[in-house]
Amino acid sequence: MKALIYKGPWEMTLEEVAEPKPNPGEVLIDVKAIGICGSDVHGYTGSTGRRWPGMIMGHEFAGVVAAVTDGVSNYTVGDEVVVSPMFSISPTPETVPMNWSPNRRLLGVEVNGAYADRVTVKASQLFPKPAGLSWQQASLCEPLAVAMHAVQITPMDIMTDVAIIGSGTIGLLVLLAAKLKGAGRVIVIDKMPRRLEMAKQLGADIVINAGEQNAVDVVRELTSGGVDVTLEAVGYSATAQQAIDITRNGGNVTWIGNSAKMIEIDMQSVVTREITVRGTYAFTDYEFGKSIQAMAGGRIDVQPLIEKVAPLAEGPAYFKQLASGEIDLVKVVLEP
Ligand SMILES: [Zn+2]
């Protein structure tokens, strides 16, 4: 079968490799659509160190069950499925949500993933794909689940003022999820006019170009003192601080961005203004299932985010262009 092999910083090739064999309890998946994630692009440049040379990346995907093994009872060959990349290596059932578990592993990050014709996964990672959901849309279920989890764990009253910092895939999906949860005015902050334009198209009430305007001043003025809730989807000191500065006293800040390991922020501002800051990571099976349901039922439309669909073989070229900034596309979906 064909697969994209990550060879090292800025190097990826399409190669012929042996088809993986499913172990008991696993299934073989014929990959139909797989999204290029920003974390893969950062891994490709070597900047995060979270990918290893020789591996097959890829964790946002859907496909058809091509083979089942002993111990798999609820799926058969031909079933159309969306796959959660998260699984547990614990020999006993997990006692905590899987995204908290030390036994959690991520397909395409810690083990070979799905930039390939076929991949093996545990049957527990499968969710049935509704017929009305396209393969391309289904491949966005994983990032949507990340956004759904962030919004799910963030206290948010109906019609509350919400700010989102960062309008990459996750920031834009957080916008859709926040509106689904009943947010009032949603303000999106970024520095890229193209992304802000898309945020508007997806329903943002106000967009602020932080490269041109002082976002903190603008938000404070618009909201008389700050928004109730801010979700940060960038992950550096400056934006983490900005999230605190644009939130009202007693408000909630949720950090999704996971870029810098150490940051510097004004702790006194958090303390004296009684801001609650929380982290959010990945998702639970509950939110993964609800993401499928929201897309299939027409409550969330991810189609505008899919700006390019290309064959798997063109993957290396897209990685190079996305990493160098030569092209800016919210979501590129590859079709093996
Ligand atoms: Zn991802």
Range of the domain at 232: 154-279
Predicted pLDDT at 47: 85
Q: Could you tell me the distance, in angstroms and rounded to a whole number, from the CA of residue 80 to the centre of ligand 1?
A: 21
Same domain, 83 and 168: no
Residue closest to 56 by CA, chosen among 116, 99, 104: 116
Q: Looking at 254, 279, 304, which one is the last position of a domain?
A: 279
Residue 259 has pLDDT above 90, yes or no: no
Residue 217: inside a domain: yes
CB 269 within 8 A of CB 245: yes
Same domain, 218 and 112: no
Q: Could you tell me the distance, in angstroms and rounded to a whole number, from the CA of residue 63 to the centre of ligand 1?
A: 17
Q: Could you tell me the distance, in angstroms and rounded to a whole number, from the CA of residue 143 to the centre of ligand 1?
A: 6
Predicted pLDDT at 292: 98
Predicted pLDDT at 299: 97
Q: Could you tell me the distance, in angstroms and rounded to a whole number, from the CA of residue 176 to the centre of ligand 1?
A: 17
Q: Could you tell me the distance, in angstroms and rounded to a whole number, from the CA of residue 273 to the centre of ligand 1?
A: 34
Same domain, 260 and 329: no
CB 160 within 8 A of CB 183: yes
- Domain harbouring 172, CATH code: 3.40.50.720
- What is the number of structural domains in the chain? 2
Same domain, 139 and 287: yes
- Decide: helix, strand or coil at residue 289: helix
Same domain, 325 and 269: no
Torsion sign over Cα 282, 285, 286, 287? positive
Same domain, 314 and 209: no
The pLDDT tens digits of the residues spanning 98-156 come to 999 999 999 999 999 999 999 999 999 999 999 999 999 999 999 999 999 999 999 99
* Residue 243 pLDDT class (50, 70, 90 cuts): very high
- Domain harbouring 93, CATH code: 3.90.180.10
Predicted pLDDT at 50: 84
| Model pTM score | 0.97
Residue 200 has pLDDT above 90, yes or no: yes
Predicted pLDDT at 49: 80
Percent of the chain with pLDDT over 90: 98
Same domain, 84 and 158: no
Q: Could you tell me the distance, in angstroms and rounded to a whole number, from the CA of residue 144 to the centre of ligand 1?
A: 9
Predicted pLDDT at 137: 98
